[in-house]
Structure 1
Amino acid sequence: MTSIRRPAIAGLTLAAVLVAGGCSGDSKTDTKGASPAGDTTVSAAPPATTAPASASEELTQAYAKFSDTPVKFELASAAGIAGTGAIDAKTKSSEMTTDLASAGSMVTRQIGKDLYVKTEGQVGDAIGATAGKWMHIDVSQVPDSSPISIKNTDPANTAKLITTASEVTKTGDHTFKGTLDMTKSATANATMLKALGAKAKAVPFTAETDAEGRLTKLSMALESIAPGAGEMTATYSNWGEPVNVAKPAAGEVVEMPAKFRKAMGA
């Protein structure tokens, strides 16, 4: 059980912190056919009204667009963690599916103040999930440090992280590179950061924007801080398209079990 639980939770946290993120942008649907998404509650800076003065400011403005524009996203990593989702910060509607490879998968849906989580495979069995059910919890009961926290899957958090970027340069009209300081992320996992040490302060990244200055791709070279981790890439698409998240049927919902809440830090 322990061998499954630890990597599952660590994987979710890493994906959420780096992608916030989650880093992740796409158009997949889960087994119930709802539009994908991550959680939400956005606190990004207001949209800029003046032209950016630097490459770093240009990226910050690109991320700020998450605060008022629906977007879909997709996450992929060499470590086997993958995610898909969509988010509308204004309506507090979102869904995110995290694929943990052989350990199973986890889906989170937020509709207003209600958060629903469903797992499949070994990960759910190991951390006390109710098989075949959507587990409900009020978002106010989920701390920021939890892998299922709305802040961990809110793309606006990456906007804050990008403001810590160093050595940001433009490599083309809409391409950038630099390093990120993960230790300054409000949702970073303390245990993970301690294990990474000084390397967490300089994670190489590249980014791309579209003609309207919206983020379309973000890649982080995790190999530089964790051998074997490879690269984590998030792509963002369908900017402005409505996000429709289906509320699970009453018969498919149970209140989140205490064991699962504890495993998720809630």
Structure 2
Amino acid sequence: MNIRRWSIGVLAATLLVPGLTACKSDASEPAAGGGSSEVAVPADPKEALLASTKEIEKGNFTFTLSGDGLSGKGLVHKPSNSAQFSMKFDDGSGTSMGMELIYIEPDSWVMLDLGELGAMIPGAEKTKGKYQHLDQSKVKGAGELSRYMEEVDPAGSATLTKGITEVQKTAEGSYTGKLDASAATDSSALDADTVKALGAQAKALPFTAKLDAQGRLTELVISVPAAGETKAHDIKVTYADYGSATAAQKPPADKVVEASDETYEMFKN
């Protein structure tokens, strides 16, 4: 199961125009990093996992994503209204591609490594190795670039945990169980077409989860069986540096160009 935004088009929606301003944390809120060990983790396993994603909503963390042929990592930093994400994709056919996204309110940039695909896109050579500065008015009209603008969590873990049907605590901070993927198709970590291909299997996908001492989600692994053309694999999401992520940095000025019309067109449905 490919993570929904694990194509060049849908990945862009995650961080190019995130809802950081609308969801900006109150400056008076205490920092989540380090934190106190006095936080009470719910004794009920499902309640513990539901509560574990609350800190993600505050938008100050780093994360990694991995799955079928793809790996990525990044950060979300609401205090500076910024975010950054990089990914690499290799489908095993010898063709690979990559992307880096940077958002610092009100600007965003994208660097694309389209591999062999770049040779088929007019003007791609002109932007190779460059950060393309994006016109926000064009982003909002460019299909996939404007999807999920209000989401802070790149994997939608809160939605996934709501789909849990079975769960048990196996050790301190460790859980295992099953979740109903068909009930979480609005999560950005699920590909709706693959969920459909899984059929009844989608209703009981095995997962493991880990929480830190403060009850915050640090790892979620979903085991996905083979379906259609997709081989069996794990989707893994990790979170770290709650409350202590660093702000995204602007790309070097000498590596910035304005985004081409071809770039906006590539993201359209």
Flag whether TM exceeds 0.5 (same fold): yes
Q: What does residue 112 of structure 1 align with?
A: 105
Between 58-67 and 169-178, the greater mean CA deviation after superposition: 169-178
Q: CA deviation at 1:92?
A: 2.7
Q: Secondary structure at the match of 1:97?
A: strand
Please state whether the residue corresponding to 2:53 is helix, strand or coil: helix
TM (norm. structure 2) is 0.69
- Give deviations 1:145-166, integer Å, cap 9, x for gaps: 5598556772472212211221
- Hey, what's the Cα distance between the residues in 2 that align with 1:144 and 1:52? 41
Aligned residue runs from structure 1 range 74-89, under 5 A: 74-77=64-67, 79-89=68-78
Task: State which drifts further: 113-122 or 206-215.
Answer: 113-122
- 2:185 aligns with 185
What pairs up with 1:1-266 in 2 under 5 angstroms? 13-14=5-6, 40-41=18-19, 52=42, 54-68=44-58, 70-77=60-67, 79-101=68-90, 102-122=95-115, 125=118, 129=124, 130-137=127-134, 138=136, 141=140, 150=149, 154-155=153-154, 157-183=156-182, 184-186=184-186, 187=188, 188-223=190-225, 225=227, 228-265=231-268
Shift of 1:264: 2.5
How far did 1:103 drift?
0.8
Task: Please give the alpha-carbon distance, in whole angstroms, between the structure 2 residues aligned to 1:244 and 1:142.
Answer: 27
3-state DSSP of counterpart to 2:80? coil
Shift, 1:234, TM fit: 2.2
Task: State how far apart, in whole Å, the 1-side matches of 2:5 and 2:235 are.
Answer: 13
State the partner residue of 2:29. Answer: none
Distance verdict in 2 for CA 1:201–1:263, change over 3 Å: farther
RMSD over aligned CA atoms reads 4.0
Greater displacement, 106-115 / 136-145: 136-145
Residue type of the alignment partner of 2:53: Y
Counterpart residue type for residue 113 of structure 2: E
Q: TM-score, normalised by structure 1?
A: 0.70
Deviation string 1:100-141 (CA, Å, 9 cap, x unpaired) is 135121111111242211112416615665322222332861
Corresponding residue number in structure 1 for 2:26: none
Larger Rg: 2
Cα distance in 1 between the residues matched to 2:128 and 2:114: 9
In structure 2, list runs of 5 or more residues that go unmatched.
24-31, 33-38
| Distance (whole Å) between structure 2 residues aligned to residue 213 and residue 123 of structure 1 | 44
Residue matched to 1:3: none
- Alpha-carbon distance, 1:245 to partner: 1.1
Alpha-carbon distance change, 164 to 113 in structure 1, aligned in 2, over 3 angstroms: farther
Whole-angstrom CA distance in 2 between matches of 1:123 and 1:112: 32
Q: Which runs of 5+ in 1 are unaligned?
A: 1-9, 23-36
CA contact (8 A) 2:102 2:109 kept: yes
AA partner of residue 88 (structure 2): D
Deviations 1:46-96 (A, max 9, x none): x9x98636322211211110122521222333x331111111244331111
Query: C-alpha displacement at 1:252, in angstroms?
Result: 3.1
> For 2:159, what is the secondary structure of its paired residue?
helix
Percent identity (aligned): 26
Q: Is the 8 A contact 1:64 1:156 kept in 2?
A: no
Give the paired residue count.
238
- In the alignment, what sits opposite 2:27? none
Larger mean CA deviation between 146-155 and 200-209 belongs to 146-155
